[in-house]
Each structure stands twice: as structure tokens, then as C-alpha cells.
Structure 1
Amino acid sequence: MRILLALLFVVLSLPAAAQDTAAPAREKVFNAEYFTLDNGMQVVLVPNHRAPVITHMVWYGVGAADEKRGQSGLAHFVEHLMFKGTEKIPPGEFSTRIKAMGGNDNAFTAQDITAYFQSISSDRLETVMEMEADRMTNLIFPPEDVESEKLVVLEERRQRTENDPRGYFFEQMNAIVFPNHPYANPVIGWLHETEALTRENVMAFYKEWYAPNNAILVVSGDVTMDTLRPLAERIYGSIPAREVPDHNWTAVPPLKATQKLIFADPSIQQPMLSRVFRVPSENQNKEESLALEVLASVMGDGQSARMYKSLVAEQKLASGISFHYSGSARSDGTLRITANPAEGTDMDMLETAIDSQLRKLVSEGVTETELSEAKTRLIDAAVFARDSLQGPAMVFGYGLTVGSSIDDIEYWPHNISQVTAEQVQTVAAKYLDPDNVGDRPYTTGYLLPKAQPAPAPEQIEESAE
């Protein structure tokens, strides 16, 4: 849920804190309505009648983690090619038609999901549903478009990774954190594997995973179920279900040794430390996930958080620090600490200070005041989210696709309110203790500046001439 709330913070620019710390009653946040079509496609409606607009999203239960070995980047490549046409809609016309109707559209791929959305006036809902249903089964993948779009994807990778040392750094960190697990592969794909992808690979992946029984339709906005249901039954319900593979992934084995990545590049101006812990996702352990949400808020939410107060404000060892839990995943979640050393602070000193704060968390836990303030921040973020148009569609789509239930999402604020200080300390001791890593050792990375080599004497002379 944490990653979903982060999206909502972007949408809403929510305040960081509130005054009322009372636990909420067990009430639904979104009051979503839902049903399942005969072909297995789930349909969720989040009504919002403030303006005559809707967000229409189709979420597929397939992502980069489902690619065959040696075909990394394929899920993302297929996402690109979903805009390259059917018999009804020529290549490149999908987005053009959406814009002509006054809307906007896009798509994105992650390890567990691929999603497509349109935001548009509510009277265009039927049209966008017909367009989206058409490309669920009728893509034609013109060979020339497959090859040209591959060049686009490769250039996207070069810009994000090859030309950005931070991209390289986080890509390598991720590979270390998830050995023997598909999450180790970048969503955009390893360059040499993406270069080798073929039209046959694309068609096989599309036919294997793109089916109504592997999809969730989420509509948020100015529409009623009386309108949506017959449209969904006629447009999406007419698409036959198909057998879809299981998510048979290899797992990270039990490990004992912590690991460190040191990456230096001349373009880096400010050093950075990153510490990543592999922890349970909400799908794996709901109770521990809720406690990790609260823990991350206590340690990292804003200038009143424990890490910021200690390392930035008081000790002045860091110029900035974040503490973030990502628990929306089909498999393992992560907890990431990222910090920039203050001038005069070396990386070893910064890492020692972080370990000291983690030891204090493990031994002393959190105070009742910290607990109450953290829960209030999280609850307020979830409650304010219902006023957004796209936000609820993101929350339900992502959550349901990776294994949450409707009730998990609707009653999340109440569930957060029930987290105890003891539960927070228990997950801290189990997963974050630097002196007892168990079989889930953390990975630490240093991203450092690298001095440019001095030019050879002959180069200096040539330059002077």
C-alpha cells in the first residue's frame, strides 16, 4: 500500500500531518462497487461525481517478473507495442484518437503488473472501453513497427541507465538484493537481451498473458454501476477467457552475508548511501506489512521523523535522508534507506550513524507519541485519496493485481490504526537489526564521485597550442 500512497501524495500534495489522532471507525474509504464478468475479468467502480470525467484503467496480472529467462524487457516491449494497432485502429492512432476526444492516455510496466489508462470525459467511456477491449485480443504487430519500436525501447534504456550512473547504480543494487529471483532483472530489460527480442517472442507473450481472466477493469469518476455494468458485460464480457500460466518464480535462497556495492562515476556531484532490506510484502504477511508501514513513517516521514531529526538536524551528518517501505508486490517487498552525507562526513561515518539509529529502534522501539503521529499521517493520506480521480484507480488496480482484497484496501486506515508499538519493534528486530541479519542480510551501496584522470603531458601541450 505504501507505494500506492506515494502515488497519491504526488496527485494530491497532501499535508504531512494532522491534529486528530483518534483511531478511525471501521469504515470504508472509497465505497467501491465491484463484480466479476463470466469470463473472469474483475470490474471495480469508484464513484466520484464532482466533475463529468472518468479514469478508465485495465490492469493485467503480468509484468517483468513473468518473462522467460533470457527475455528480460519483453513485458515492457509489449506495452509499447500495444499502441501499434489492430485492424480497427491503425498503428499510432490510439493515443491520437484519445487526444482528439479531449483526453489523455498512457501505460506503464512494473515487476508484477502492466497497466493502461485513459482519463477523459465520462460521455466517452463506452468509446475507450471498446478501444481497450479491441487491443486486448486483436493486436497485429506489423514487423516493421516491432523493429522500429525496439529502437525506441533501447534508446529509453540508454537514457535511463547507460547515460545515468544513478540508473546503473540502482539496477546493480536490485540485482544484488534479489539473487535467483526475477525481481533482479530490470523492468526495461538487460540491454543485450532486449536487443535480441523478436516478433515471435512478443506474439507468444501477448497470447499467453493478455486475457480477460488475467485483467482487472477499474473505473473511477462520474459514472454509476447501472451504466458501467451493461457496458462491461457487452464490451469486455464478450471476450473469451483463456488459460493463463501460473506465476512460477524462483525464490531468493537463505543468505548469511551482507553485501556492499561501491560505484563511482565522474558525473556524480553528491555522494549517496543506499541500504536495502528485503522484507515481507502485504501479499506475504499483512500484519507485518502494516507494522512496517508505521515503522517507515516513524523513521522517515518528514522533518519530524527520527532519522531526519538525529542525522540531519542534530548530528548534521547528512544533508538529507529517506526511509521508505515498498510493500505492494506479489513477492518480496523492500525497505530502503537513502542518505546524502553532509560536507565533511565520510560514508563510513554516515553508515555507522544509521546503524546506531537502527540499534536504538530494535532495543527501545517507538514511543506512543511517535506511533500515534505516524498512524495519523498514514490514515490521513488514505482518507484524502478518495477525493482524487486517478488515485483510487491506481490503488485498487495495483493492490488487487498483486493479491490484496477489496476489504484490504477499503479498511486499510482502520487496520493501520490497530498497529501496536510492540508489533513495530518486533518487525524492526526481525528484519532491520544490523547485528542479527538472519537469512535476509541487507545490501549497502555507495554512489561516489570519481576524480577525472589528469591529462597526459602531451595532451596538455596540444591543448595549449
Structure 2
Amino acid sequence: MRPIAATIAVLILAPPLWAADLAKTRWGVETATLANGLEVIVVPQQRMPAIHHLLMYKVGSTEEEPGKTGLAHYLEHLMFKGTEKTPPGAFDALVNRHGGRQNAFTSADYTGYFQTMPRDQLGAMMALEADRMAGLKLSEANSRPELSVVLEERNQRVNAPPGGRLSEKAAAALFPDHPYGRPVIGWEADIKTLTYQDALAFHARWYAPNNAVLIVAGDTDLSEVLRLADATYGRVTARALPPRVALPIPAAPTDRKLTEVSARAPTPAWSARAIGPSLSTVSPDEAAAMAVLIDGFGQGLGSRLDRTLVNEQRLAQQALAGVDLSRRGPGQIFLSASPAPGVDLDRLETAFLAEVGRVQREGLSETEVNRAIERLTNGEAFERDSLTGLANSLGRAKMIGRTPDDVAADDDRIRRVTPAEVRQSAARWFNPAAFVITHLLPKAAP
């Protein structure tokens, strides 16, 4: 454990390196920026002696070069292979010894690493995370086996589940020649060619303090976090960053209907997806109206789709709607349904698109809008009432250029949404002619 001790030993008193841009916002959230550009967000929660330490980088699969899909996710795996100071497995061992948990995630727009630990381990987490921000110790021996792990993960996520490949094809059809049309985990052929040198080069380009945001929630305060961050992250040098890839609205899809027959599919399934708004492409008020529209149309028991397709017409066992608003580029709308026994997908599709057309013309009733507003605001309150919920929300927001104040204002924006705004949102974004529709069909027994 000597290398860990050496890493943590940097927690010595030194002149402060944070910039004087301290700010305090709703929920007691406080922010600051270190001199090297690392943004810091602190969410004080004194209900238990624990902390959630989340480091997010403003880079994801959209920054991968052609032929290198899956590289951002591969690097995420290799970040656990150790550094010059910290041997492989030492980070995990420390977390496990204290009964904590840690993990990481990669998306199209960002990558994150987090640990939940006793509060007295905050400095150790910062030291170890800053250490692997500064550099990794990779080789053919410790990186090549991880490719097999990633390929098996892809197999479990994409190849094995019914409809996994169909969903991947639908995303590629909706975003032709666009970074969002590539799977975050990567195309299988590309993954097989990735090297540790590719990962080190990607790390050197993007893993810098001035391209990261640190969010700490729990039994601490800004003063303590800045003292510890100054002694760890503050010692990592800022670097010049390349420009991020542009994410324009994609061209209209040419393949608008995709069908797959699969022996792994126990029952048929219908889905549609469309380009939608995001918090980066429309105003916050427009995004709020879309959130209310989607919730009222297809989220949970009592939604429009649940009432009409499931309970009244008895055509579906389940019918849902969703939207991804937290994107750096255009958002995505998702619609899906499982047919009731004896109902074929063409009949279900006709009924589903009829409901889409109806809401596009008429919007939602005042009762439906009020129900959606209550569900959304209550859901956000429940999410914030945890050690990790608000921290994760603030981190995702920062990745697309939003601030804690923006997030704090979202509840009020949701509450102000009117039926007229919902109708306008539906008229703009619910266009069946632009949908990419999929049919997943079970393969008949021989």
C-alpha cells in the first residue's frame, strides 16, 4: 500500500490555487474553480458521515475518430489499470476496505468516475482520481485482455438481448453520418483494433483539469473540498484542448422502417424514435414543455397511452414515451409498445400513430398537464433527497453547459408549463413522417 500512501501524501498545506469565483446557489450548493480550470461543485448534506465523489470529463464517444469507435469507453476501463504511483487493484482495494462503492460510465457527450465512501476518505479519493487524471501506466499486457472484457460487454448489451442490434441500427438510421449514430460501446470490428496507445493518446487530449467538473456531495463543505482539491487536483497542469466535434441536426432518415426476426425475441415489440429537442438546442422553457408532454403522453399508469392503448382499446400490454433532453446536440424521442396477445404490430402501429397524431393536433388536456407537472416535480424532489441524486443531476447539467442555477430553476419552469405550450411542442416535434420505426418479431419454431 506504499504507493497509495505516496499519492495521498500530497495532501499537505500549500498556498491556495482556487480562483476567487465562489458562488452559492439553491439547496446550499456552492461552486468554485481551481486555477487550473477544474470546476468544483459542493452539495452539503450532513445527514450521514459519507460523501459522493464524482469526477466528470467533457468528452465522450462523439470525439472518437473514424474507425476508433468505442475508444472513450475502452479508456474508461483502462483507467482502473493503475498509474506509476498506484498499482492495479489498489484503488478498488481501498474502496472495498472501507465498504464503499465505485464505478464509471461513458456516454456520447461525457465520461464519469464516482466513489461513495466514508467522509474521512474524501482526500484519498481525490488523490487517487487526480493521480490517474495526470497519467496512466498502460502496456500491452494489462490492456489487451480488457478488450475481451469490452467485447463481452458489447455481447451482453447488444448481441444477446432481443432487439439489441435492431436498436443500434435504428440509432444509426436516425443519425446518418452523425456522431450520435455510432454506438457508445463501439462497433465490434473497431473495438478489436483498439490499442493502449490509442487510449493514452485520447487520455492526453481530453483528460485535463480544465476539461473536467468535480462534484462532491455529503458531509463536507466548500472550504474542506477546496483545501483537499487544491492539494490533489490543483497539482495537475491544465492543457490546451482540441475543439469538440460539432453536433448539428442530422439529415432526414432514409431508412424509416426496420424489421428484425429473432429467435431470442419471446414476443413482438414495436418502437419509434425521432429527433427531439435538448437543453442545448432549445430554450429551457421549450425543454420543460417537452418534458411535460412526454410524461403526460406516455409515462406511467394513467398516461394518455396507458389509458387509450392499454386500458380502453386493449391493443397493448404496455405503451411508453421518453425523451433524452440532456445532450450537447439534438435530443431524441423514444416511443415503444408491446402488443396484447393476438394483436399484430401493424394494427398496434396504426393505433399508436393515431394517438401521436391526436396529441400533435390537440395537445394534452389541462388535467393531463397538471398530472405530468406533479409527477415531474415530485420525481425531481425524490431524486434530490439522496446522497447521489442532486450531484448526478448537477454533473450532467455541467456537461452540456448548464449551471446549478439553471437546474434550480427547472422546477419553476415545469410548474409554469401550460396546455398551449404542450400543444406547440407536440405540433413541432411529433411528426410521424420523420420517425424511424422498428418491428421486432419472434422467429417461428421450425
With normalisation by structure 1, the TM-score equals 0.88
Matches within 5 A, 1:84-103: 84-103=81-100
Q: Which of residues 281, 290, 293 in structure 1 aligns to 2:291?
A: 293
The verdict on how the C-alpha distance between 1:396 and 1:31 changes in structure 2, with shifts beyond 3 A counting, is same
1:29-44 correspondence runs (5 A)? 30-44=27-41
1:71 aligns with 2:68: yes
Letter in 2 for 1:53: A
Matched, 1:400 2:398: yes
Q: Secondary structure of the equivalent of 2:352? A: helix
Q: Are residues 183 and 247 of structure 1, via their aligned partners in 2, closer, same or farther at CA, if it must alter by over 3 Å? A: same
Aligned mates of 2:65, 2:140 — CA distance in 1: 22
Equivalent position to 2:178, from 167, 181, 187: 181
How far did 1:109 drift? 0.5
For the aligned residue pairs, the C-alpha RMSD in angstroms reads 1.5
Deviation at 1:234, TM superposition (A): 2.0
| Distance in 2, Cα, partners of 1:104 & 1:255 | 43
The equivalent of 1:336 in structure 2 is 334
Query: Where has structure 1 moved over 4 Å in runs of 4 or more?
Result: none
Equivalent-residue separation in structure 2 for 1:168 and 1:313 (angstroms): 31
Which of 372, 381, 384 is equivalent to 1:383?
Answer: 381
CA contact (8 A) 1:29 1:382 kept: no
Q: CA deviation at 1:35?
A: 0.7
- Counterparts of 1:451 and 1:68 in 2: how far apart (Å)? 41
C-alpha separation in 2, matches of 1:264 and 1:243: 49
Tell me which of 358, 368, 371 is aligned to 1:370: 368
1:163 to 149, 160, 163: 160
Other-structure match for 2:417: 419
The separation in 2 between residues aligned to 1:399 and 1:280, in whole angstroms, is 15
1:263-302 equivalence runs, <5 A: 263-285=260-282, 286-302=284-300
Instruction: Indicate the residue corresponding to 1:45 in structure 2.
Output: 42
Partner SS for 1:366: coil
Gaps of 5+ in 2: 1-24
Number of positions where the alignment pairs a residue of Structure 1 with one of Structure 2: 422
* Partners of 1:181 and 1:249 within 8 A in 2: no
Matches for 1:69-218 after TM superposition, within 5 Å:
69-218=66-215
* Letter matched to residue 368 of structure 1: E
The answer to whether the 8 Å contact 2:173/2:254 transfers is: no
Q: Determine if contact 1:180/1:251 at 8 Å carries over to the other structure.
A: no
Alignment correspondent of 1:447: 440
Deviation at 1:102, TM superposition (A): 2.1
Given that 2:59 and 2:111 are in contact with CA atoms closer than 8 Å, whether structure 1 keeps it comes out as: yes
Counterpart of 1:353 in structure 2 is 351
How far off is 1:88 after superposition?
1.3
Letter in 1 for 2:110: I
Instruction: Quickly say closer, same or farther: Cα 1:96–1:166, change in 2 above 3 A.
Output: farther
Residue pair 1:84, 1:92 contacting (<8 A) in 2 also: yes
CA distance in 1, matches of 2:39, 2:298: 36
Identity over aligned pairs, percent: 39
What are the Cα deviations for residues 246-292 of structure 1, in whole angstroms up to 9, with x where unaligned?
21236354327670010110121111101101111111112321111
The letter of the residue matching 1:57 is L
Partner of 1:461: none
Cα deviation, 1:364-396, whole Å, max 9, x if unaligned, reads 221111111111111111122222001111111
- One-letter code aligned to 2:84: E
Contact 1:76 1:187 in 2 (8 A): yes
CA contact (8 A) 2:174 2:273 kept: yes
Opposite residue 451 of structure 1, the aligned amino acid is A
Q: Which letter does structure 1 place at the counterpart of 2:83?
A: T
Q: Which has the higher contact order (CA 8 A, sep 6+)?
A: 1
Report how far residue 32 of structure 1 moved: 1.0
CA distance in 1, matches of 2:47, 2:189: 49
d(CA) in 1 for partners of 2:360 and 2:396? Answer: 31
How big is the shift at 1:90? 0.7
CA distance 1:282–1:178, change in 2 (3 Å): same
Q: Provide structure 1 residue ranges, at least 5 long, that are not aligned to the other structure.
A: 1-27, 455-465
Aligned to 1:224: 221
Instruction: Report what 1:14 is aligned to.
Output: none
- What SS does structure 2 have at the residue aligned with 1:296? helix
d(CA) in 2 for partners of 1:130 and 1:146?
23
Shift of 1:407: 1.4
Which amino acid is 1:44 matched to?
I
Would you say the 8 A contact 1:396–1:406 is kept in 2? yes
Is the contact made by 1:311 and 1:317 (CA closer than 8 Å) also made in structure 2?
yes
Is 398-407 or 343-352 further displaced after alignment?
Answer: 398-407
Partner of 2:11: none
